[in-house]
Amino acid sequence: MQIPGKLKSGDEIRIIAPSRSACILSEEGIQMAKERLQQLGFTVSFGRHVFEKDLQNSTSIEQRVEDLHDAFSDKQVKGILSVIGGFNSNELLPYIDYELIKKNPKIFCGFSDITATANAITAKTGMVTYSGPHFSSFQMVKGQEYQTHFFTQCLMQDTPFELKPSSQWSDDAWYLDQENRNFEETSWKTYQAGTAAGTLWGGNLCTLNLLQGTDYMPNLENAVLFVEDDEMTIPETFARDLTSLLQTVKSLKALVIGRFQRTSNISEEQLLFILDKHPILKGIPVLYDVDFGHTQPMFTFPIGGEVLVDASAEELKLVRF
């Protein structure tokens, strides 16, 4: 895998909208996110079509692909962040110039619906991409310290490091109310003990599954798989989606599951019931309730990077990213 150059103070980060556009963000929120990135030493620029919108608060395929290509072509741009997630970034995949990206490797980061774009880029180019905060994520006040710490650890340095559990987590709609937040204590949990190392793939489960049967689906054989899902899932759909993904592989190195949102009703009892169905998970390390996905705060991880999983000690270490 090709590791794009790490970010450094003074670098330009381009904000693009492969899915929903910035039209759904408030002017105050946009300014807060921009200022926080500037405080980290970055210069922030925006794609040409980021603030436009159509009937689904996105823009045309052509406009989104143009902004993506412009960001990778611009020699001044060193990193690319998605505005936010959504539902339609997979529309772009047949129209992306993967050779252009391969010739101009740089940081590409986002999560949720951006899972489709990021995994496709890595699968087609061999360049590591990143599952981590959107531009809009930097609006968040409480919980930002943890999120920013691992964002900079992963994207601004290359020394192997451990991903640590957050001290507390929240499932609040923080973007509606930054003050009245409810936080709970955290702990990562072990379903199956053991250690494993390997190439990391994954992100949002239902979005990753959109790639099945296409030329953009990564080869998950002997991978370390990170998956999570959002408030739109329920136990039955998560079970179905996980089953579908596990049926694409003969062997996995490890499985790491992000923490679920409360409205999904995927309790620990439900999750263990789902995991117990799969013999493939009885012989590999499996961790769950881990700090990535749609609860806050979240860490950043490399799609196509190398990770060490120690489920016995409930530890994760990024080795090559």
- Residue whose tokens read 């009245």: 180
Query: Parallel, antiparallel, or unpaired: how do β-strands 315-320 and 306-310 relate?
Result: antiparallel
Rounded Cα distance between 119 and 114, Å, is 8
Whole-angstrom CA distances from 121 to 59, 139, 158 are 20, 27, 21
- Residues designated as active site: 112, 228, 294
Note whether 290 and 257 are within 8 A (CB).
Answer: yes
Rounded Cα distance between 165 and 162, Å, is 10
Rounded Cα distance between 51 and 43, Å, is 18
What are the backbone angles phi and psi of residue 63, rounded to the nearest 5°? -65, -40
DSSP H or E segment with residue 79: strand 77-82
CA-closest candidate to residue 3, choices 115, 142, 159? 159
Whole-angstrom CA distances from 14 to 72, 135, 137 are 9, 10, 15
Rounded Cα distance between 76 and 49, Å, is 19
CA 20 to centroid of chain Cα atoms? 16
Rounded Cα distance between 72 and 127, Å, is 13
Q: Which residues, in sequence order, are CB contacts of 159 under 8 Å at separation 6+?
A: none
3-state secondary structure of 92: helix
Q: Which residues, in sequence order, are CB contacts of 176 under 8 Å at separation 6+?
A: none
